[in-house]
Chain A
């Protein structure tokens, strides 16, 4: 019997698999997609600082380097925030394969095109393996621990722990990868608007040579993201003149962090545990961190030969202490920002200083937002509510 089966070879699964393999455990990584990393469900942005967790990213994974972010108010005025370390727009189809290669080089066995349909349990009621299908052939495989790193779009997390994403806590998203788009190419472009993207925002992430990911996320409603996209493009001929070379969609969790992410022989990590930044919807960094944290605890548990829920619960403790409390604060900040009208947002962008944006992206406390709001008489009432 192998030590660990990981379901999903995205950033969380591969980070977990790599670390466990390096520690000498036998690991299998099953990926549902026939091609790892494709189709992408992502704007592909990542801060350079994230390499602290991800490792040094090879040039071939990077489509374009970013100096910072340009934040647009609904009235069209904008503010540039230049990051000291900058960021990347990745080519996820290349990046995810690189991550899988790294896990494989460390000794994990990676297998694409493998659909995991269910979980196996042992006589004590612990999770003990998976049922799956590869190339039309069904199989069962046992393992001491099963890691669910499927992303949000799998019923496995529900089958094990009853976890799903509340519909009010996802942003429904559409993205066009476009070419022949005229934008400043070394900045990500973020458009705030309660009309064009209620609760979410519109993003334009340049990918070099006039390519860009143009996307938007909204709170789910009867009016669909595609309709909002039409409105946005109608106001932006410099983007609308381009051609659509790929269409992506998806629902991104922007809240609903899971309190209890373990069962006997089972651990949930990455987007499957809704580990996404609730303000910007970025999930790569959080996925890698939680995958590595899960690996650390699983390795300890395997060494002590105790994979009980109680033993694995240390992962809950570590993750909530290191990431959860912080992301919870970011969620509170998002809840406040989503209440602002377009006029409020105009005032907010006016009142912001570049360094504030960087603080917000990192997940500043509500008091920081309150301080910014206090700079505008119209927003003092909102600010007081926060303090």
Chain B
């Protein structure tokens, strides 16, 4: 199980934040993730317009 963001790809658009169902993400200068809230559901990976987020469930 892992959650990774590639800040070279990320455009800081906050799309991932808007779809997060547990408010685990926040957009400041970068996207920040609260590990305690994140369920690794993967919707941020799916919504990201630029393939910056990768969630591996296995």
Do these two chains really belong together in a complex?
yes
Residue A236 is within 8 A (CB to CB) of chain B in the complex: no
Within 8 A of B (CB), among A125-161: 151-155, 158-159
Instruction: Identify which of A152, A155, A170, A226 gathers the most chain B CB atoms within 10 Å of its CB.
Output: A155
Whether B47 lies near A158 (C-beta < 8 A) is no
Q: Which residues of A contact B11 (CB under 8 A)?
A: 39, 247-249
A-B pairs with beta carbons under 8 Å apart, 15 shown = A41-B13, A152-B18, A153-B17, A153-B27, A155-B26, A158-B22, A164-B19, A167-B43, A170-B19, A172-B15, A172-B49, A173-B49, A174-B50, A224-B51, A251-B15
Within 8 A of B (CB), among A200-256: 220-222, 224-226, 247-251, 253
Q: Which residues of B contact A41 (CB under 8 A)?
A: 13
Residue B48 is within 8 A (CB to CB) of chain A in the complex: yes
Q: Which residues of A contact B16 (CB under 8 A)?
A: 251
For the complex, count residues of B whose C-beta is within 8 A of A: 25
Whether B50 lies near A151 (C-beta < 8 A) is no
Whether A224 lies near B27 (C-beta < 8 A) is no
Whether A225 lies near B49 (C-beta < 8 A) is yes
Residue A313 is within 8 A (CB to CB) of chain B in the complex: no
Whether B15 lies near A153 (C-beta < 8 A) is yes
Chain A residues with a Cβ under 8 A of chain B: 39, 41, 115, 117, 151-155, 158-159, 164-167, 170, 172-174, 220-222, 224-226, 247-251, 253
* A249 to B20 CA separation, bound complex (whole angstroms): 17
Q: Given the known A-B contacts A115-B28, A167-B43, A248-B11, are A155 and B17 also in contact in the complex, defined by CB atoms under 8 Å?
A: yes
* A117 to B23 CA separation, bound complex (whole angstroms): 12
Q: Which residues of A contact B19 (CB under 8 A)?
A: 164-167, 170, 220, 251
* A251 to B15 CA separation, bound complex (whole angstroms): 5
**B50 nearest in chain A by CB position:** A249
Given contacts A155-B20, A220-B46, A251-B19, list 7 more A-B pairs with CB under 8 A. A152-B14, A153-B27, A155-B23, A158-B20, A165-B19, A167-B47, A248-B13
Contact with A along B27-42 (1 / 0, CB 8 A): 1100000000000000
Whether B27 lies near A154 (C-beta < 8 A) is yes
Whether A164 lies near B23 (C-beta < 8 A) is yes
Instruction: Identify which of A152, A158, A170 gathers the most chain B CB atoms within 10 Å of its CB.
Output: A158
* A198 to B27 CA separation, bound complex (whole angstroms): 28
Q: Which residues of B contact A152 (CB under 8 A)?
A: 14, 17-18
Whether A250 lies near B15 (C-beta < 8 A) is yes
Q: Which residues of B contact A250 (CB under 8 A)?
A: 13-15, 49
Whether A164 lies near B18 (C-beta < 8 A) is yes
Whether B25 lies near A155 (C-beta < 8 A) is yes
Selected from B21, B25, B27, B49, the residue in CB contact (under 8 A) with A249 is B49
Whether A249 lies near B46 (C-beta < 8 A) is no
Q: Min CB distance, B48 to chain A, in Å?
A: 7
Question: Would you list the 5 A-B pairs with minimal beta carbon distance, nearest first?
Answer: A153-B14, A251-B15, A152-B18, A155-B23, A158-B23
**A117 nearest in chain B by CB position:** B26
* A158 to B50 CA separation, bound complex (whole angstroms): 24
Selected from B14, B24, B51, the residue in CB contact (under 8 A) with A151 is B14
Q: Which residues of B contact A170 (CB under 8 A)?
A: 15, 18-19, 47
* A222 to B19 CA separation, bound complex (whole angstroms): 15
